[in-house]
């Protein structure tokens, strides 16, 4: 297995804490081979590798990133730009990331920006691919309690566990996929639903498809029950409110191995029904994270902002709920008036190829 460790070096940022975390990962996960790991630090290191054919493909890639007080690592930003300029450069690789902050903010946003760039470069993100150390490490309170240890030890152990999961990750099996599509689109007018019709034309024979429409259903948002109450419902494969989420979505999600969400951009975010559905998955997630399921999406914006919707999906479903995020997980388009998706040159063919890809 080819391992690549990417530690973007910014002269204005120094993190002794992250160095200690990294040393712990090396000693527990790579005790024999840490000397032999390829470690990239600079934008030139990455650029040089990109010039060699296929060096970045088929690797396990661990990002180890310090953000500093300002929350921006300029070398990381330059690396994200390079990834965006080289689609497919990380085909067949799988990645995870440790992000260390000095304040309570920016770790998650830096991680999701990187995750989107990686997916668009063809790289798979393993479910729950992020271990973040916020300035106070308060985010490790529950992990520390569960491990009966202090916050910093919980951070080190979480980083080592992440590297181990990346090492053990196996790509999902191919062939005969069970595809679940969930949406809340208007059948008569929606560009996003029309795009899904084109995608279906490309889905390979042997695949099974189920579709659930949440439109005009009473999809209540998560009630925010206590942990104990949520666990009680979780054991019974249920949730406080019941209804279509429990009766239709839960069993279909258990059945599928690929989830496709149809996401019109509503105020630079997911629509309320889809957001409520995702929040209501918490009960199912408590039973088991969704590591064995892959997330795909069709995202249509009237004018702009599909990247924001894509990042919301990455954060909520992959980083939080554990869905595996495949390379090129989202097909995006810009179309506003009903039917205007058809004015995009080549959209039908592009959608058909996406259908082929998601049913590989």
Ligand X SMILES: Cc1cc2nc3c(=O)[nH]c(=O)nc-3n(C[C@H](O)[C@H](O)[C@H](O)COP(=O)(O)O)c2cc1C
**Residue from 93, 158, 192, 312 in contact with ligand X (CB under 6 A):** 192
| Stretch near ligand X under the rule CB under 6 A, chosen from 9-17, 127-135, 294-302, 311-319 | 294-302
| Stretch near ligand X under the rule CB under 6 A, chosen from 34-42, 101-109, 207-215, 266-274 | 266-274
Alpha-carbon torsion (88, 93, 98, 104), positive or negative = positive
Q: Which residues ranging from 103 to 162 are in contact with ligand X (CB under 6 A)?
A: none
Q: Is 268 in the site for ligand X (CB under 6 A)?
A: yes
> What whole-number distance in Å separates Cα of residue 219 and Cα of residue 242?
9
**Residue from 14, 255, 304, 349 in contact with ligand X (CB under 6 A):** 304
> What whole-number distance in Å separates Cα of residue 62 and Cα of residue 51?
20
Residue 151, CA atoms < 13 Å, CB-side half-sphere: 11
DSSP-derived letter for residue 68 is: E
> What whole-number distance in Å separates Cα of residue 127 and Cα of residue 172?
12
Nearer to ligand X, 67 or 331 (CB): 331
Nearer to ligand X, 75 or 190 (CB): 190
Between 330 and 359, how does the x/- string for binding to ligand X read (CB under 6 A)?
Answer: -----xx-----------------------
Q: Is 301 in the site for ligand X (CB under 6 A)?
A: yes
The three-state (H, E, C) secondary structure of 281-315, written as one string? CHHHHHHCCCCCCEEEEEEEECCCCHHHHHHHHHH
Nearer to ligand X, 266 or 291 (CB): 266
Pairing of strands 94-101, 59-68: parallel
Residue 33 CB neighbour total at 10 angstroms: 10
**Residue from 185, 261, 284, 331 in contact with ligand X (CB under 6 A):** 185
- Residues within the interface to ligand X (CB under 6 A): 185-186, 190-192, 264-268, 300-305, 335-336
């Amino acid at each position: 297995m080819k391992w690549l460790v990417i530690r973007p070096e910014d002269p204005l940022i120094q993190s002794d804490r992250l160095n200690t975390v990294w040393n712990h990962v090396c000693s527990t996960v790579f005790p024999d081979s840490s000397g032999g790991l390829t470690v990239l630090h600079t934008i030139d290191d990455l650029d040089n590798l990109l010039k060699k054919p296929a060096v970045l493909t088929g690797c396990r890639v661990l990002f180890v990133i310090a953000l500093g007080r300002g929350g921006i690592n300029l070398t990381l930003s330059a690396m994200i730009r390079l990834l965006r300029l080289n689609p497919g450069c990380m085909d067949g690789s799988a990645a995870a990331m440790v992000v260390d902050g000095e304040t309570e903010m920016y770790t998650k946003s830096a991680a999701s920006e990187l995750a989107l760039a990686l997916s668009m470069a063809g790289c798979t993100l393993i479910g729950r691919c992020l271990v973040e150390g916020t300035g106070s490490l308060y985010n490790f309170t529950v992990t520390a309690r569960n491990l009966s240890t202090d916050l910093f030890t919980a951070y080190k152990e979480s980083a080592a566990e992440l590297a181990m999961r990346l090492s053990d990750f196996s790509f999902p099996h191919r062939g005969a996929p069970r595809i679940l599509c969930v949406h809340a689109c208007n059948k008569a007018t929606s560009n996003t639903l029309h795009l899904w019709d084109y995608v279906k034309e490309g889905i390979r024979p042997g695949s099974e498809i189920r579709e659930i429409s949440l439109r005009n259903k009473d999809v209540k948002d998560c009630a925010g029950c206590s942990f104990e109450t949520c666990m009680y419902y979780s054991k019974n494969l249920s949730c406080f409110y019941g209804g279509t989420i429990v009766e239709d979505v839960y069993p279909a999600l258990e059945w599928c191995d690929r989830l496709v969400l149809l996401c019109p951009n509503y105020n630079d975010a997911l629509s309320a029904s889809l957001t409520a559905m995702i929040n209501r998955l918490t009960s199912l997630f408590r039973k088991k994270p969704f590591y064995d399921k892959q997330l795909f999406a069709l995202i249509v914006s009237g004018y702009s902002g599909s990247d924001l919707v894509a990042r919301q999906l990455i954060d909520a479903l992959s980083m939080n709920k554990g869905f595996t995020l495949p390379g090129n997980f989202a097909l995006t388009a810009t179309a506003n008036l009903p039917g205007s998706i058809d004015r995009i040159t080549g959209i039908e063919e592009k959608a058909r190829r996406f259908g082929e890809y998601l049913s590989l």
